[in-house]
């Protein structure tokens, strides 16, 4: 407890008052709140009375919070969680997490008391996602949703809304996806013919800026947000070679629509410096001309020299355009901007570049997909070699 001296106007005169203040930790938010009482004196008797009054106020507030905790709804808990979650993760991570959480809340009901959600209903919910014909989601999607909801329930346990996290007790009968996974890896990157068709389509339809960004992704393995967020000052010349300092990403947000350059890449592993090939160097040098150091390399208005005047490339628009291109070019893959990143991995694997070097170059924290593409490409190369080895006899 502490005392704050105050002056109040009484009958036209300023009189001294003593405000006795104490703080307590809210069980709802984990933040500290204050209660106070004011007296005209601060004698030992007054201090004792103030202490007792503050204790009563705190106990009453905590009791009210406890009553609320027992009847807290999914909507109330998820709102509190997302407010905190948004402050500690990257915007793209928050966007996906919030999407999964809001879908879960919609499905179970906003007014559902979170402590009334049984393990049985959770088991049914997640298994239904896999085997209900209307949903028929993949193991990976259901696992991602389950993980995000589990983080929500961990929050609920931490702040007293729940005693246990029942999500951790859920047993899911996972699908056998071996056949789908074999096909999926081949469909996660582009063939040279498919890549060329996409670039040519961009050029024919006047989307040169997208053609150059996609080329740079193909040549470097960068994420679209990293490539579209490149500034002139991120291009480094050393000993006759050209490098990119990848240390941030271009982030678009909605409600309201806005964008900004983040102070880091999507993951810590993404903070890196990479060397450029001659063709990649030509692309960045072409887009550096007559621009400020903090100007973006790529924009819808490529000649704008100042960042404030530029219109940055939006990943959603890029993916929409790719969808139209694959329809026109009859490419049977769900191509997104990330495919150019995966294709870079496949090309390097074909060049016998070691996996660890590839992972460092593309800045992958989660290397699962990188390793799968690498192993698939190198395995195919071995199979092609085994099929051709008999031809060596022709040279005898």
Q: Could you tell me the strand order of the sheet in which 235-238 lies?
A: 235-238, 241-246, 272-275
Which region holds residue 160: left if phi is over 0, alpha if psi is between -120 and 50, else beta? left
Strand ranges inside 209-297, DSSP E = 235-238, 241-246, 250-253, 258-261, 272-275
pLDDT digits (tens, 9 = 90+) for 296-312: 999 999 889 999 999 99
Residue that wins the pLDDT comparison between 37 and 66: 37
Residue 118: predicted pLDDT: 92
Contact 225, 255 (CB under 8 A): no
pLDDT at 133: 63
pLDDT at position 294: 93
d(CA 128, CA 125): 5
Residue 359: the pLDDT is 87
The CA distance from 102 to 334, in Å, is 26
- pLDDT value, residue 89: 87
Mean of pLDDT over the chain? 87
% of the chain with per-residue pLDDT over 90: 54
Tokens encoding 276: 């450029």
How far apart are alpha carbons 127 and 136 in whole angstroms?
A: 10
Q: What's the predicted TM-score (pTM) here?
A: 0.60
Give every CB contact of residue 191 below 8 A, 6+ residues apart in sequence: none
Beta bridge partners, 25, equal: 32
CA dihedral 27, 32, 37, 41 (to 10 degrees): 140
**Would you state the pLDDT for residue 355?**
85
Contact 333, 326 (CB under 8 A): yes
Q: 378-381 — which CB contacts under 8 Å span 24+ positions? A: 378/349, 381/350
74 to 27, 101, 385: CA distances (angstroms): 17, 10, 58
CA 115/CA 162 separation, integer angstroms: 6
| Most confident by average pLDDT, 102-106, 183-187, 268-272 | 102-106
User: Using an 8 Å Cβ cutoff, are 288 and 235 in contact?
Assistant: yes
Which carries the bigger pLDDT value, residue 199 or residue 271? 199
Indicate whether 77 pLDDT > 90.
yes
Q: Mind listing the pLDDT tens digit for each residue in 126-147?
A: 998 888 767 778 888 899 999 9
Whether residue 100 is predicted with pLDDT greater than 70 in this model: the reply is: yes
Residues 12-23, mean pLDDT to the nearest whole number = 88
Give pLDDT, residue 363. Answer: 85
- pLDDT-based confidence at 148, cuts 50/70/90? very high
Q: Count the neighbouring beta carbons within 10 Å of the beta carbon of residue 361.
A: 18
Residue 284: cis peptide before it, omega within 30 degrees of 0:
no
Spatial contact of 29 and 81, defined as CB atoms under 8 Å apart: no
Whether 35 contacts 54, CB under 8 Å: yes
Closest residue by Cα to residue 317 from 210, 236, 218, 186: 210
Query: Given this model, what pLDDT does residue 257 score?
Result: 72
């Amino acid at each position: 407890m502490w005392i704050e001296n105050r002056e109040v106007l009484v009958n036209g005169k300023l009189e001294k008052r003593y405000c006795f203040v104490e703080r307590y930790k809210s069980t709802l938010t984990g933040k500290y709140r204050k209660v106070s009482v004011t007296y005209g004196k601060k004698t030992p008797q007054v201090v004792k009375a103030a202490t007792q009054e503050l204790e009563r106020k705190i106990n009453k507030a905590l009791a009210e919070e406890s009553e609320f905790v027992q009847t807290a709804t999914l909507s109330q808990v998820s709102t509190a969680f997302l407010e905190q979650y948004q402050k500690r993760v990257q915007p793209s991570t928050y966007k996906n997490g919030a999407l999964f959480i809001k879908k879960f809340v919609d499905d179970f009901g906003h007014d559902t008391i979170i402590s009334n959600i049984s393990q049985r209903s959770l088991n049914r919910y997640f298994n239904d996602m896999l085997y209900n014909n209307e949903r028929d989601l993949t193991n990976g999607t259901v696992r991602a949703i389950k993980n995000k909801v589990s983080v929500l329930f961990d929050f609920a346990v931490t702040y007293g809304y729940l005693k246990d996290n029942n999500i951790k007790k859920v047993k899911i009968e996972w699908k056998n996806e071996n056949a789908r996974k074999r096909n999926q890896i081949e469909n996660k990157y582009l063939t040279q013919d498919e890549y060329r068709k996409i670039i040519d389509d961009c050029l024919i339809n006047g989307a040169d800026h997208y053609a150059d960004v996609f080329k740079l992704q193909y040549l470097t393995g960068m994420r679209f947000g990293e490539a579209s967020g490149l500034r002139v000052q991120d291009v480094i010349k050393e000993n006759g070679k050209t490098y990119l300092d990848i240390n941030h990403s271009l982030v678009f947000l909605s409600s309201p629509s806005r964008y900004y350059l983040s102070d880091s890449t999507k993951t810590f592993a993404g903070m890196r410096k990479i060397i450029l090939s001659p063709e990649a160097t030509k692309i960045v040098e072409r887009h550096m001309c007559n621009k400020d150091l903090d100007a973006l390399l790529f924009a819808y208005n490529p000649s704008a020299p100042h960042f404030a005047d530029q219109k940055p490339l939006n990943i959603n628009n890029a993916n929409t355009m790719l969808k139209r291109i694959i329809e026109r070019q009859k490419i049977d893959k769900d191509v997104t901007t990330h495919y150019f990143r995966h294709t870079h991995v496949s090309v390097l694997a074909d060049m016998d570049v070691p996996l660890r070097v590839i992972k460092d170059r593309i800045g992958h924290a989660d290397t699962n997909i990188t390793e799968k593409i690498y192993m698939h490409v190198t395995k195919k190369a071995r199979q092609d070699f085994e099929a051709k080895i008999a031809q060596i006899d022709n040279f005898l």
